[in-house]
Amino acid sequence: MIPELGQLALVIALCLAVAQCFFGIVGAQRGHFIWMNAVRPAAVGQALFVSLAFVILTYSFLTNDFSVRYVAENSNTALPWPYKITAVWGAHEGSLLLWIFVLGLWTLAVARFSRRLPQEFASRVLGVLGLISIGFLLFMLTTSDPFTRLLPPAAQGRDLNPLLQDPGMAVHPPMLYMGYVGMSVAFAFAVAALLGGRMDAVWARWSRPWTLVAWLFLTIGITFGSWWSYYVLGWGGFWFWDPVENASFMPWLVGTALVHSLAVTEKRGAFKSWTALLAIAAFSLSLLGTFLVRSGILISVHAFATDPRRGIFILAMLGAFVGLALILYAWRAPMFSESGGGFKVFSRETFLLLNNIFLVVAAAAVLLGTLYPLVLGALNLGQISVGPPYFDHIFVPLMIPFFILIGIGPYVRWKHGSVPHTGRKLGWVAALALLVGAIVIVLLRAETSFIAMAGVLLAAWTVFSALQEPVQRLWQRLRHRHASLGRSVLGMSVAHVGAGLMILGVTVTTMLGITVDRVFTPGSSLSVHGDQYAFEGVQDVSGPNYQAVQGTFVVTHDGRPVTVIYPQKRQFRRDGTTTTEAAIDAGPFRDLYVALGNPLGHGAWSVRIEYKPLVRFIWLGGLIMVLGGFIALMDKRYRRVRITAVTLDVAATLGDAGTNLRREPEH
Amino acid sequence: MHRRLVFILPILVLIALIGFFWRGLYLNPTLVTSPLIGKPVPDFSLPRLHDPQQAFNQSRLKGQVSLVNVWATWCVACREEQRTLLHFSKQNIVPIYGLDYKDDRQSALRWLTERGNPYTAIAFDATGNVAINWGVYGAPETFLIDQHGIIRYKYIGPITTEVIQRELLPRIRALRREGT
């Protein structure tokens, strides 16, 4: 009975979504106040019924209701209870329900925090979100119903895919989906503005914090996913250019471009139609990601079970949403005047435009590399992968100029910058970056690799240039006590420091890491980068639903004990799948990584040992970027209360005209 | 008018992409033609992966029916294929030669120690130049070569047990009958 209630809840949610969409868009178009007043309750109801369905599916998992096909296929009485909850989104149907649930959460948030928006605009935004809900609810009810019964019920469930039986599963997909789906809010704002025929600083100002929150979640999701694949998949890398990773990376790149271009639109009123296009593109790429994962169109380590009907449905949905938005764009966008006026070549606008160009070109390159196999496939040339050689060749040359510009941009004035002014601010920063970079290169013995040296220098440049402004303001404040630093500038500085640390981690780990493969017999040992690894043999251990072989390695450095680590090879009882649980000794400046290979008889094992310098900086950098975004979100202007849209509009216009020359450098 | 066109461009891009996806959904990776089918293996000489001093060239591919599998450690689909190939090689039906494509020697050797080696011998094509002559688009791809060193069939994408049963084994048997 309970699962049928879940199904019913989804149907009711669908009806409410139709109401939300219709009253939202048509009501605003006709200026019908009673209709517009109905939008918010419909949206809230829709979100609540979706949440109810989600709770019911979770309940079915917790109570081992194997009469529900989806539960029987993805759970088991032996599965520990936290994994029963994460199993809800362990396969296609449930992860789709999670998608819709997250969309419901965003809808609730928009309904709650949009009261101060002009009513027409708010109802259009909610109407567009309602349209997206309709699409996904229909998709779920027609092709992927998680509540389908299994007759007769199974006595025992199969089990959750072993790779997904990990605490990371509780964090990674929800965060990623919060980011993906959050881009739909930026999309809804852009489409609402296009529908209303008004694209102005108010639109940019309202849309900015939402975009930033979505970007934050996406950053957390990707950073976490990278760390997770590092320690769970046992491949020893942090990024594989796998199609599904790319699917989350593309919206991130475009979302990052969007966050920057929204700044220009808000501050200067320029780049309006470009910003709108980026907002549409970011969400399209999120949908594309969903399509690539769900349709099984690409070969991937993340492959979900596939069904061609599903692929066609998502493709149709992608075509409909994005197609409608782009038609609207082609019709409305040429009418917007770019009130920002002209800007000189050396100006903040130019640097942000370059930022956008680099990020969008990078996203296009990733798209091309991801789709190349598919395009070949469509031309009947089969399914293949181009892999990291392609991406490395494309990415390194794009990122070098990008990171040089990242340091300069914030110190160039809006509209017409001055080279001597920027030079004065950055001259000593460049010198310091060179000096510190050189010291780090010597410490790491990085002089052997050109790319590693370039990476270290770029990272130092990025970090120090980002710190210049906050440090200067702090210094001024210590002396005269009236220099202030806006949260959004501070947030930007912190985020750029994070980007610099990430580049440092990526280049140093990639270029200077050491990997050794050896056959170990019990008692044998090996020295890697000064650490002595002694193998003491393996023993059998047993987990709740798997058997494992566990090796013991004692690591010493010059006779001093460093650590004892236990890599495992697990075999799951359900289907005999084996997973490699690498043992990692994590340190701030290096990781030691040991993975068991294959048994070679007589107690001998092939073993892989890796020394990974600064690998933690990759994820640390990601977290610091998140922190930066969070600080920017705390900016005063997002907490201002009870300012009507009109005053906001006037303030924005005045702000653009006058105050910006003084409040340098705002971002 | 020119300005208008810029704003229409995004929708054209979308239409092209959707077209490709639509085709992609229905594609059948086994329906592949290559201009090289029916032609002799292109001349080449590459170092062996395990022993760079030794050369691997086209003469090795004459005298018996064999498979040439293009792979690389960076190729995700090759991971899937690896297990199937390993199993197939144990049946000793045909020799499987590897063409390690745009790869790094150390990681390739590591991959083989860790996952097992299904190959009779492996040619190491670090630059991918030989693969270009073979008409390789990416990894994985598999060529079926007959006794006279002529390419008879090409499969693009990862080899599965089904592919072996349905595509490779019947052709291998037919070639053997032809040869005797």
To the nearest whole percent, how much of chain B has pLDDT over 70? 89
pLDDT tens track for A84-109 = 999 998 888 898 999 999 999 999 99
A234 confidence band (pLDDT: 50, 70, 90): low
Helix, strand, or coil (residue A509): helix
**What is the amino acid identity at position A40?**
R
For chain A, the helix, strand and coil percentages under 3-state DSSP, each to the nearest 5? 65, 10, 20
Query: Is there a single domain that holds both residue A70 and residue A151?
Result: yes
Q: In the beta sheet, which residues pair with residue A514?
A: A611
Count the neighbouring beta carbons within 10 Å of the beta carbon of residue A427.
11
Same domain membership, residue A117 and residue A234: no
**B31-179 topology per CATH:** Glutaredoxin (3.40.30)
**Number of A:B CB contacts under 8 A?**
137
Is the four-CA dihedral A502, A503, A504, A508 of positive or negative sign? positive
Please give the average per-residue pLDDT across A123-145, as a whole number: 94
- Neighboring chain A residues of B3 at a CB cutoff of 8 Å: 334
**A192/A120 Cα distance (integer angstroms):** 9
Vertex A356: Cα angle to A350 and A359 (nearest 5): 140
Pairwise CA distance, residues A347 & A422, whole Å:
10
Full residue range of the structural domain in which residue A158 is found: 1-170
Sheet strands side by side (includes B96-101): B121-125, B96-101, B66-71, B141-145, B151-156
Nearest to A380 among B32, B139, B155 (CB): B32
Q: Check whether residue A149 and residue A182 sit in a common domain.
A: no
Answer for the pair A416, A344: CB distance below 8 angstroms, yes or no: yes
Contacts of B156 in chain A (CB under 8 A): 381-384
One domain for residues A134 and A102: yes
10 Å CB burial of residue B49 (0-12, 13-18, 19+) is buried
For residue A458, which amino acid is it?
Answer: L
Which range among A456-465, A609-618, B47-56, B157-166 shows the weakest confidence by mean pLDDT?
B157-166
Q: Is A417 among the domain residues?
A: no
- CA distance, residue B94 to nearest chain A CA (Å): 24
CA quadruple A629, A635, A637, A640: dihedral positive or negative? Answer: positive
How far apart are the CA of B75 and the nearest CA of chain A, in angstroms? 6
A1 and A139 both lie in a single domain: yes
Is residue A454 one of the residues assigned to a domain? no
What is the distance in angstroms between the Cα of A158 and the nearest Cα belonging to chain B? Answer: 22
Chain B, 25 to 84: residues with Cβ < 8 Å from chain A are 25-27, 29, 31-33, 72, 74-77, 79-80
B156/A330 CB distance under 8 A:
no
Same domain assignment for residues A166 and A244: no
Q: How confident is the model at residue A214 (pLDDT cuts 50, 70, 90)?
A: very high
pLDDT for res B27 = 53
Looking at A147, A170, A193, the residue that finishes a domain is A170
> A155 and A100 share a domain?
yes
- Choosing from A132, A154, A170, the residue where a domain stops is A170
Which residues are bridge partners to B106 per DSSP? Answer: none
CB A432 within 8 A of CB A375: no
Do A152 and A59 lie in one domain? The reply is: yes
Based on the domain organization, do A162 and A39 belong to the same domain? yes
Q: From the list A240, A284, A319, which residue is nearest B76 (CB)?
A: A240
Distance CA A460, CA A467 (A): 11
Return residues 114-133 of B near A (CB < 8 Å): 114-116
How far CA A572 is from CA of A81, A329, A549, A553, A634, in Å, comes to 17, 52, 12, 24, 46
Whether the CB-CB separation of A511 and A451 falls below 8 Å is answered with yes
Residue A515: name the closest of B128, B118, B102, B73 by CA. Answer: B73
pLDDT of residue A642: 40
Whether the CB-CB separation of A493 and A470 falls below 8 Å is answered with: yes
Residues of B with Cβ-Cβ distance to A376 under 8 angstroms = 137-138
Q: Tell me if A502 is assigned to some domain.
A: no
- Tell me whether residue A93 is in a domain: yes
Residue type, B56: F
Q: A93 and A209: one domain?
A: no
Residues A603, A574 share a domain:
yes
How does pLDDT run across B118-136, given as a tens digit for each residue? Answer: 999 999 988 777 887 787 7
Q: What is the pLDDT of residue A314?
A: 81
> Nearest residue of B to residue A285 by CA position?
B14
pLDDT tens sequence across B12-22:
888 888 887 77
Greater model confidence, A360 or B161: A360
Please name the amino acid found at residue A543: G
Do the Cβ atoms of B74 and A380 come within 8 Å?
no
Put simply, the answer to whether A384 touches B22 (Cβ < 8 Å) is no
Higher pLDDT, A194 or A652: A194
Q: What is the mean pLDDT of residues A385-397?
A: 77
Each residue's pLDDT tens digit, A540-570 = 998 887 888 899 999 999 889 989 999 988 8
Tell me if A297 is assigned to some domain: yes
Dist. CA B147–CA B170, nearest whole Å: 16
Of A319, A322, A385, the CB nearest to B75: A385
pLDDT at residue A303 greater than cutoff 90: no
Under DSSP, the state recorded for B38 is T
Q: Which spans in chain B are helix H?
A: 2-26, 76-90, 105-115, 129-133, 161-163, 169-179
Closest residue to B20, CB basis, from A374, A381, A382: A374
Cα Rg of chain A, angstroms: 27
Tell whether the model's pLDDT for residue A652 goes beyond 50. no
Q: What local confidence, expressed as pLDDT, does residue B24 receive?
A: 66
Neighbours of A360 (CB within 10 A): 20
Give me the mean pLDDT over the A5-24 stretch: 96
Closest partner CB to B76 (pick from A242, A377, A382) = A242
Average pLDDT taken over every residue of chain A: 85
Point out the residue among A284, A334, A376 whose CB comes nearest to the CB of B7.
Answer: A334
3-state secondary structure of B39: coil
Helices (H) and strands (E) in chain B, counts: 6, 7
Task: Return d(Cα A161, Cα A302) in angstroms, integer.
Answer: 11
C-alpha to C-alpha distance for A372 and A386, rounded to whole angstroms: 8
For chain B, state the CA radius of gyration: 19
| Judgement on whether residues A155 and A31 belong to the same structural domain of the protein | yes
A532 has a pLDDT exceeding 70: yes
- Whether A663 is in a domain gets the answer no
What total number of domains does chain A contain?
A: 3
In a domain, A606, yes or no: yes
Of A626 and B154, more confident: A626
